[in-house]
Amino acid sequence: MIAYLDAASGISGDMFLGCLWDAGVGIEVFRRSIGYLKLPVAEWSLEAIEVKKGPLRASQVRVRAAEEHIHRHLAQVRGMIESSDLPALIKERSIAVFRRLADAEAKVHGTTPEEVHFHEVGAVDAMIDIVGTVVGLSELGVERLYSSALPLGHGWTDTQHGRMALPAPATLEILAAVHAPTHPAPGEGEWVTPTGAALVAELAVFEQPAMALERIGVGAGNRDAPWPNVARLWLGQSPGPGAMVQIETNIDDMNPQLFAPVMEKLFAAGAADVWLTPIQMKKNRPGILLSVLASSTLEALLVRLLLEHTTTLGVRVQALAHRHEAGRAVREVATPFGVVRTKIKFLEGAPASVSPEFDDCRRLAEQCGAPVRAVLEAAWAAAREGMDRPNHGA
C-alpha cells in the first residue's frame, strides 16, 4: 500500500489523524496506542466526528487534554516514547519526527537540539498527533508516503516566545531542511503547522506517484475558510511490475567521463536499460540525451540519482503502459579457456537464442593470451551444445 497526501489546504497533526480515521483506522486503535505513552495528565480524550467543510464531508479528530505548563527536552520526549509498549518501528519514526522539530527549534533559537525546550510541540496533543499518525499509517499498511507541495500563508501567530510572523520559523526550517516544494496559500494564516511540517518532512517524499486508487481519507482542519479546509489522503497500490517509465534528460555541461559511473549507478539501482544519444542543443551546443527505462516503482529513486549525480536541473518522465519480455536465464558453460556465463532467451518455455557474457570472454582471453574472438566462439559452441540437449529449458 502507498499513500499520497493531497495537502491543498495545508496540514496539521489533527488533520492527519482525521485523514487516517476517515480512511478506516478505528478510534480505539489511536486510544490504545496513545495509552502506551502513559502521558502525565489526569485526563485526556480523543474523539472523531464527521463535519462539513464548505460543500465537502470530512472527518475531524479532536484531542482534548488538561492544560500543561511542562517544558520538555528532547531526551524526555524520547524517554517517554522509548519506555512505552509501542512497536519498535513506531517508536523510531515518532522519535525521528520530534528530532526534526528539535533541530528546527534549535536553529531558530541559536541553541542545540538537546537544550531545546518544547513548548507548543511538546504538549500532550502534539505527542498524540505524532504517535497517532505514525500508528495510523502502519495500521493501514502504508509502506511509502508521498505528499503534494505545501501551501504557506502570511500573517502573525502568538506563541510561548511571543508574536511571530507566519509561516512559523520552525515550520520554515523543517521544510527547508528537506527542500520541500511550497506555494502561496489561498489566504492569510497558518495552514501548515510545525507538527504537520515535521510529520510530512520525516515520513513523506514530495512527489505524486503513479498508483491504482482504492480509497480516500478526508481530514478536516479546525479553521473555517472560504474554501474547504481539508486534507485528502489517497490510498492505493503501486503499479504492477509490468508498468514502466522512461526517464530522460538533456545534458550539455557535464564531463563525458562521468557518464559511465552514472550509468553504473542507475543499473545497480534496478534500471532495465540506460542509453546515451548525441543531440544538438540550443546555441548549437552538442549534448547528450540520457535515457533510462525502468519499472515505475523505481521512478523516485532513479530521478533522485540523476539529479544528484549529473549536472541536470530537471528530468522528464513518460509513463509506458507495459512491455513484453522474453524469458531469460543465466547459465555457465565450460570452454577450453575457462567457465563463461551465458544469457539464454526463452520463448514459450523453449530456448531460442544464447549470448555469451562478453566481459567473461575478455577476462579469459587476457588470462590465456588468446584472441577474444576465439573465446567467444568457444563459448557460443558450448552454449549451443547445451541448448540442443533434451529438457534444457527445465
pLDDT value, residue 241: 58
Successive 10-residue mean pLDDT values, the chain, 394 residues: 95 96 94 86 82 95 72 83 92 94 88 69 77 95 94 85 85 95 93 96 92 93 94 87 84 94 93 94 91 89 93 88 69 91 81 87 94 93 73 41
Task: Classify residue 296: in a domain, yes or no.
Answer: yes
Which pLDDT does position 71 carry in this prediction?
67
Enter the DSSP assignment of 256: G
For residue range 265-316, what is the model confidence (pLDDT) as tens digits? 999 998 999 999 999 998 888 999 999 999 887 888 999 999 999 999 999 9
pLDDT reported for residue 152:
96
Q: Within a domain: residue 379?
A: yes
Are residues 132 and 259 both part of a single domain? Answer: no
67 and 137 belong to one structural domain: yes
What is the predicted pLDDT for the residue at 120? 47
Give a yes or no: residue 179 inside a domain.
yes
pLDDT the model gives residue 255: 93
pLDDT attached to residue 389: 55
Give the CATH number of the domain where residue 287 resides: 3.30.70.1380
Of 295, 320, 300, residue with least CA distance to 240: 295
Among the three residues 301, 320, 339, which one is the final residue of a domain in this structure? 320
- This prediction has a pTM of 0.64
- Considering the domain boundaries, does residue 394 fall inside one? no
345 and 294 in a common domain: no
pLDDT in tens, 321-348: 556 677 777 888 999 999 999 888 878 7
105 is a domain residue: yes
Same domain, 99 and 217: yes
Hey, which bits of 99-205 come out as E strands? 144-147, 150-152, 155-159, 162-166, 182-184, 204-205
Contacts of 311 (CB under 8 A, 6+ apart): 251, 253, 254
- What is the DSSP code string of 260-288? HHHHHHHHHTT-SEEEEEEEE-GGG-EEE
Among 203, 237, 271, the domain boundary falls at: 237
Residue 70 in any domain: the answer is: yes
Identify whether residues 302 and 282 lie together within a single domain. yes
Number of domains in the chain: 3
The CATH number covering residue 343 comes to 3.10.20.300
pLDDT at 68: 58
SS3 370: coil
Q: How many CB atoms lie within 10 A of CB 96?
A: 15
Domain that includes residue 337, residue range: 327-387
Using DSSP bridges, classify how beta strands 2-6 and 144-147 pair: parallel, antiparallel or unpaired.
Answer: parallel
Question: Are 40 and 183 in the same domain?
Answer: yes
Q: Are residues 40 and 93 in the same domain?
A: yes
245 Cβ contact list (under 8 Å, min separation 6)? 210, 293, 294, 295, 296, 299, 317, 318, 319, 320
105, 170 in Cβ contact below 8 A?
yes
pLDDT in the model for residue 321? 52
Are 39 and 77 members of one domain?
Answer: yes
Residues 196 and 264 reside in one and the same domain: no
225 and 159 inside one domain = yes
User: Residue 298: its pLDDT value, please?
Assistant: 87
Contact 247, 315 (CB under 8 A): yes
Domain C-terminal end among 320, 336, 367: 320
